[in-house]
Structure 1
Amino acid sequence: MPEQRPTERRPSLDAATAAIRHDVRRMLQQPVPSAPAGIGRVLVGVSGGADSLALAAAVAHVAPRLGIAWGTLTVDHGLQQGSAAVARRTQAEMLALGASFAHVRRVEVGDAGGPEAAARRARYAALEGERVATQSDLILLAHTMDDQAETVLLGLARGSGAASLRGMRPLAGRLGRPLLGLRRETTRASCRAQGIDSWDDPQNHDAAFARVRVRDRVLPVLERELGPGIVAALARTADLLAEDAVVLDALAVDRLNACEPGALPVEMLRGLPAGLATRVVKGMLERATGRAPTRRHVLETLRLATEWHGQGPLDVPGGRVWRAEGEVRACARAH
């Protein structure tokens, strides 16, 4: 009787890594409107932090098994000493993981809107430029449920509407965020289990940034005073608002498309519920001027229909609005 060799057991997969791989696989297998023929290549944004490294490691495992090529981009904002070295180290780690390309882009960060917003604009512009250059179908970002909760709280503090409070979407155009259903602690646990050394960005602990204060001060107080589950509850609120917003946005687009460009019938606006009327006005102003109006400008424009008492034209960002012949009209400002 031939001698039986003991079967070699595979090392067990930790729960954190399994959860991340599951959510990455689910995103890569779902239909993506921007890639009707299927996803052929993805670009992963990697900073060197635990969230993005855990995402990249999961993509390295999942993507080849689905026949999808993958590569990475590390954006060097140049805002602190040693950022170039961190970017180079991350680049080497990605190539070692099997990325077909691992690029670094140095960006110039302006100051319009504050440092956080300026850095975000520069980063997203670099990612989109890299996506086009590499002919990638989708950009994957490592935002977690914790990031979503922080976004909702920041929106509440600003008095934002549903467009802001619905937070980030798992799939928005060519941006995919497969980790929004997972906590930040999951990505850290995955990195520990896989022996991945991550970089802890000092700016993530700089209380000069509002998001850091929300993360380190506000959320812990809410958890302590109101009980655990606050992060999940805030993320759930974002999901519920997003479901409603999708319907309202679609209805607003239908109303807009039925009107002449840059003109809204007064009687139509008067007959709409407030939540729909403001969306229709906002959409008309954006189309006519190419600029996003403020809440104040939207309401003032709507009053030309609902509270008409002979007021004159209004200046709005990028253009002008007035009432004439039973319509509220808008046009871009001549340069």
Structure 2
Amino acid sequence: MLRDALAAAGYPERILVACSGGPDSMALAAVAAYFARRGHVDGHPVSVGAVVVDHQLQPGSAGVAATTATALRELGLSPVNIRDVEVTPTGMGPEAAARDARHAALEAAAHEAGATVILLGHTLDDQAEQVLLGLARGSGTRSLAGMRPARGRLLRPFLGLRRADTLAICDVEALEPWHDPSNADPAFARSRTRVEVLPLLEEKLGPGVAESLARTAAILQLDADYLEDVANDTFARLQEQSGSTISLPEEALRVLAPALRFRVIAKAAAAVGGQQPSYGRLLAAETLLRRHGSAGPVELPGGVSVYRLPLTQLLADGPSGPGGVPRGGARCGKLVFRLQKPPQI
């Protein structure tokens, strides 16, 4: 699996393995070390280093990081670095905050090492858990599509392996991985999904549930990619920008399929500096298209206001109306997106 992933990535010469010390990432490090010792993949030169991120969230985490780094060096990976990070609350939950801090540290380490690829040890079980959590939260296609095998520098070559497979690799290589106690902590939704929900589904529905969930993610990735490409093209065609304000013609938005309309509205919000809106906020913004006269504003995450300007107001305001939105030649109303200025302190 790793050989295929590296071939698809164009046989990168410099690779970093992200390793927590757990079974999945240690197994991945062991497989990568095989190529490191040979010095090539299918005749293409390669060197493999590793980075251990210490989130400093548990007592003794520094010792775990040091032990992991020693094991990685013994496997033949070089260089092996430890990165300490501070997990800052973001309002999106502790898991998301830790992930953001970890990814920032991995990207910085890859940049310093000149690595074009970072290997992550996520497995099919992780993918199944991701899909279940997305279903429980009422997420859309993008979230249900799960983790990508490749995204930017990140490669996940083990998405087709079960967690039991990585434990078997560790046994064969005589590795003693660290078992993170938080993975069994019922305080975390992902831990409850791993320890309670998936085993219950396997018991009640029969074996193969995890594989079916991962297969669902793979199918939805194709759908999500297609819709994303069409939405990007549609937004580029419809947007009218003046300074920090973006407007979209409501007549063109109305005729779009709902799956595209919501995506285009979300892209307009992001383009002026906002965050990804929830479905409820997108629905509120989309409802402005069915209003008469001036309507709004609807507040979206990240300080974005969206409101409707009717055709009559656009014509009356002339070539440059409020906010610098273009008015000349208007034939329909518009949805206007504007980032509100933060209060002066």
- Scaled by the length of structure 1, what TM-score is found? 0.88
- Once the two structures are TM-superposed, the CA of residue 53 in structure 1 deviates from its matched residue by 0.6
Q: Please name the residue that 2:259 is paired with.
A: 275
Q: Please name the residue that 1:57 is paired with.
A: 30
Of the candidates 123, 133, 148, which is equivalent to residue 112 of structure 2?
133
* Mean Cα deviation higher: 68-77 or 227-236: 68-77
Which runs of no fewer than 5 residues in structure 1 stay unpaired? 1-22, 33-37
Amino acid of the structure 1 residue aligned with 2:209: I
Q: Please name the residue that 1:321 is paired with.
A: 306
Alignment of 1:142-157 (within 5 A): 142-157=121-136
Alignment of 1:112-261 (within 5 A): 112=90, 113-259=92-238, 260-261=240-241
- Once the two structures are TM-superposed, the CA of residue 321 in structure 1 deviates from its matched residue by 1.1
Give CA-to-partner distance per residue, 1:100-147, whole Å, 9 cap, x none.
210001111223333222222211111111111212101110000000
Q: Please name the residue that 1:331 is paired with.
A: 338
Which runs of no fewer than 5 residues in structure 2 stay unpaired? 315-332
Distance in 2 between residues matched to 1:288 and 1:211, nearest whole Å: 33
Q: The residue matched to 1:313 in structure 2 has which SS?
A: strand
Give CA-to-partner distance per residue, 1:43-95, whole Å, 9 cap, x none.
11101111001101111113522212211111111122221111111111111
Alignment of 1:95-110 (within 5 A): 95-110=73-88
Give CA-to-partner distance per residue, 1:252-279, whole Å, 9 cap, x none.
0000111223221111111111111111
**Contact persistence 2:294–2:307 (CA under 8 A):** no
Amino acid of the structure 2 residue aligned with 1:159: G
- Once the two structures are TM-superposed, the CA of residue 307 in structure 1 deviates from its matched residue by 4.5
Q: Please name the residue that 2:327 is paired with.
A: none
Q: Please name the residue that 1:296 is paired with.
A: 280
Amino acid of the structure 1 residue aligned with 2:110: R
Count residues in correspondence.
308
Q: Please name the residue that 1:4 is paired with.
A: none
CA-atom RMSD in angstroms: 1.5
Q: The residue matched to 1:304 in structure 2 has which SS?
A: helix
Distance in 1 between residues matched to 2:2 and 2:55, nearest whole Å: 27
* Mean Cα deviation higher: 200-209 or 62-71: 62-71
Q: The residue matched to 1:139 in structure 2 has which SS?
A: strand
Distance in 1 between residues matched to 2:163 and 2:83, nearest whole Å: 26
Distance in 1 between residues matched to 2:299 and 2:175, nearest whole Å: 54
**Contact persistence 1:24–1:62 (CA under 8 A):** no
* Mean Cα deviation higher: 248-257 or 306-315: 306-315
**Contact persistence 1:285–1:291 (CA under 8 A):** yes
Distance in 2 between residues matched to 1:289 and 1:221, nearest whole Å: 42
